[in-house]
Amino acid sequence: MSGQPQATGAVSNPVIPGFHPDPSICRVGEDYYLVNSSFEYFPGIPVFHSRDLVNWTQIGNALDRPSQLRLPRDMPSSAGIYAPTLRHHDGRFWLIVTNVGSSGNVLFTATDPAGPWSDPLPLPGVPGIDPDLAWDEDGTCWCTVAGISQLRLDPVTGQTLSEPEKTWSGAPGAQAPEAPHLYRIGDHWYLLIAEGGTERGHCVSIARAESPTGPFEPCPANPILTHRSTHHPIQNTGHADLVQGPDGSWWMVLLGVRPGGGTPGWHVLGRETFLVPVSWVDGWPVVGELSLEMPAPGWPLTPVPEAPARDDFDEAELHPRWISVRERPAELCTTKERSGWLTLHAAGASPDEPDLVFVGRRQQHLSCRVRTLLDPAAGRGGLVVRLDEQHHYEIEADAQQVKVFARIGPLRTEVAARPLPAGPVVLGVDIVQDPPREARSGPDLLSFGIEEPDGTFTVLGTLEGRYLSTEVAGGFTGRVVGMYAAAGTVHFDWFDYEPQPSS
């Protein structure tokens, strides 16, 4: 979902906040569809819909069956599903993506982007990562991958029809040419790429040719978008995709981050999806100003309601916003065992373990309040803010006591503990953006505690947020907050996530 829906005036960026990187977009009539990378999480590849490019609704996940998505337990975090490209051609939706550490490049199709999507079509002849699809006038399908190389592909059979050939790869000496997208626009073929690495040097560049295979002429204004070497509040800008509106206007979706705190700045929500207008001058795209607030597009907006803050687990199936680590076995995670409750049966003994039974949602706001009602009578479990197996904070309860833990790299420590009376308990975390007080101030504070019977929140431990940031932990993901079971069986009656005002 977007932030607060807007109807007039300025609109908020990012348009899809939180861990939603590598956006790829297509338009069919007046409808826009967008997908993102999902890395080690299941279900994979969230699918969004919008009528105005500003307000987005998640309509599903493309990879929602085990037959579509295999993520081995020994696969490290930040591997898995990389850089999908979504296109509509010949009446079908085509989704090409890399499963890093498992099945390599694969292709999925659907007639409805909300699903169901097909089982994966293997593409053994397609090398590398970040695959893209484009069709020329005679129906030839061109697949371009990071590097940057290109080949002809039969997308129905998965057979490659030519050997990969190197094409334009960005500025000489620039690192990591990736995220290619090939378009026919007017009289030219345009090759849009990211380069400079996905950190502060990230940027967007473009070249054009008279043929899909080149030779490509680089834009003299490259990079056409970057915030490197600036103090702009949006950084790491890159991995973009272009789309044309029904009125002929052009737009770019891209990833970026919002670093917080002092030097060097820590981003904790992951790479988010931003929107920026594009104009054309002398046959080249000119990217407008990318900011946290931008003028509304010149057409009526269609506000959509915020995702409900609370889930009472009354439905047979979980909402598509809920994700799990690598897999979600139905026998270990269900809303059908105890009516109106989410039941988790433990496998891994803590959030340190790759087979943790976990159900969470992306943290999408710099400040938020999270609560859940847990019944630990038959087990042990809790509420965790997760970046990966080596970087997470949690509050955990069993039938006798509640504890707060911190895992930072090789260190795992118990922060606080107190006894509990028998019965369900409300666990919570308040995440508060922390304005920089000095050069090394962290981005936020996380306070873990329990809600007393009178409604007061008793904080057991407060931890600094920089250690759950990409700048500390590395990798490509953002924070996910949710529920887990570490021993036996744990039941959760409800989960409540509420955005809070940020400083």
Task: Quickly count: other Cβ atoms within 10 Å of residue 81's Cβ.
Answer: 27
Three-class secondary structure assignment of 219-252 = CCCCCCEECCCCCCCCEEEEEEEEEECCCCCEEE
Q: Is the peptide bond before 131 cis (omega within 30 degrees of 0)?
A: no
Cα(170)–Cα(192) distance, integer angstroms = 9
Question: For residues 311 and 319, is the Cβ–Cβ distance under 8 A?
Answer: yes
**Which backbone phi and psi does 338 adopt, to 5 degrees?**
-130, 110
331 catalytic residue (yes or no): no
Task: Choose among 108, 189, 196: nearest CA to 144.
Answer: 189
- How far is 47 from 42, CA to CA, in rounded Å? 13
CA distances to 13, 64, 138, 394 from 411, rounded to whole Å, are: 36, 34, 59, 14
Peptide bond into 215 cis (omega under 30): yes
Q: How is 260-275 classified by DSSP, letter by letter?
A: BSSTT-B--S-SEEEE
Q: Which helix (H) or strand (E) holds 428?
A: strand 425-433
Q: Considering 40, 130, 178, 396, which one is annotated as catalytic?
A: 178
Q: Identify whether 293 is a catalytic site residue.
A: no
**Best CA proximity match to 335, nearest among 491, 201, 221:** 491
Q: Which residues are catalytic?
A: 22, 178
